[in-house]
Structure 1
Amino acid sequence: MGVGKFGVAEWIHESSNDVLHVEEGALYAALHWLEWKGLLSAEWGASENNRRAKYYSLTAAGRKKLAEEAEYGRRMSGAMARAMQVA
Structure 2
Amino acid sequence: MHAFDTELRNRIIKLVKGLLEQNSLGADITASAKLVDAGLTSMDMVNLMLGVEAEFDFTIPQSEITPENFQSVETLERMVATQLRLANAA
* Superposition TM-score tier, normalisation by shorter sequence: 0.3 to 0.5
Structure scoring higher RCO (CA < 8 A, sep ≥ 6) equals 2
Larger radius of gyration between Structure 1 and Structure 2: 1
Task: Kindly indicate which of the two structures has a greater share of residues assigned to helix.
Answer: 2
TM-score (norm 2): 0.31
